[in-house]
Structure 1
């Protein structure tokens, strides 16, 4: 019998980060994202077997899996991911939760807080130290996801396709992406995982932050998140606001400016919840 290990997954649409506990030193591994909106149980099983299992120590046995992922507030999605995990590791105990719970446990531990995820998608909640008590509904990248990579990337493409960029930004965009209207519309409306595709254009914002048009996109996009989500929790004025995700991390200075502008208490910003989750489950 091998060394017993625990797996902790923080999974978004684009990538999954896996923490491994039980070895002499904790490991962090990565696979592609798991999204029950776009993948079947069989496809998720294939990702785990092809991308994760080969990275695990040969003499190890998985005894527990704590999986925090996108789209798992819906029972049928949660069951789908649970089924895939149970097929791959039938002898392990498993706990599958929405990624918001992962963010809350990571950022707050056993204390209260308003927790936001700003990654490929976006979401938020009020966490009382044990449970998520309030969750302003996440509507996905078509109807919502304000402040997310997909939302900001869509703004970039709108500016490009509407020919709103000045000559300088237009040249930078063309040099980086070598794309056109037909290709963009094909990827957005006909190909799978359009949210990942849109989020890929958020990198353009990070690389050109000094330009006033880019600054406007960022400030407007993140302000939309505050207006539609943070403002819906009355606790936002009395408890710390915590953030995690790639967008939150890269543009944390703008989040701090918005908190100061609206006189809201700024809390932690983590690039990923993994460090806090490994501490929580240790």
Structure 2
């Protein structure tokens, strides 16, 4: 892959990415079973310091793309170029397991479900600090101090570090998930439906926390969501996915005011808007008759 295809401002560049899965699994999988195309020829840049939204309905491929970028899924074609801390450009798809694990210290993920994503048998201190221990970064008192500082950053009290996940609310558990993702001081955080399981008031608090942490820690976010109202609040740019393809990519304010693709307009029309006057305005803006193609 030609490194000149990667913009100087990009932290990650995805080029020609394709990912397929067998249509069956286990005993149901036939030797010549057809494959399910999940991603097809994806091209996108994640600019350092931005929050890029990735939206689409369930099954559109957005979560698969996030998992390919972090290396959970191996791709069938294309390249994922990552700019390292020293400025060197590496193709994630060609990394061996050892180099991939090292890269995954820089690229972390916040998962959707704040309940099932935390081991109920581990204390919060161990959940957050495990990555420090596994990577040989800190142990003992130093590890506890670093975990305590991160717990404070996400708005929880260090006094609760020795408790188990069941002692926390859903919003607090998601803050623990955020702390776990940030404890290794990553550069890119992939937030996969990170607030979809939270009620509206808690969701707003967690979004504000994510914005605050981004400013303090100079983070880059890939924010995956099906909720366009959430994406509008936090994202600089938005990519819209449908059936494994990116059908539209634009600055957030431009896309919400002048969506170009019919699928984007359909998603925007589905966003609930309490104010009837504003609702009529949005419907007018997303009508095919008033939108330039």
Same fold per superposition (TM over 0.5): no
Per residue, is there more helix in 1 or in 2?
A: 1
Structure showing greater relative contact order (alpha-carbon pairs closer than 8 Å, 6 or more residues apart): 2
TM-score, structure 2 normalization = 0.28
TM-score, structure 1 normalization = 0.29
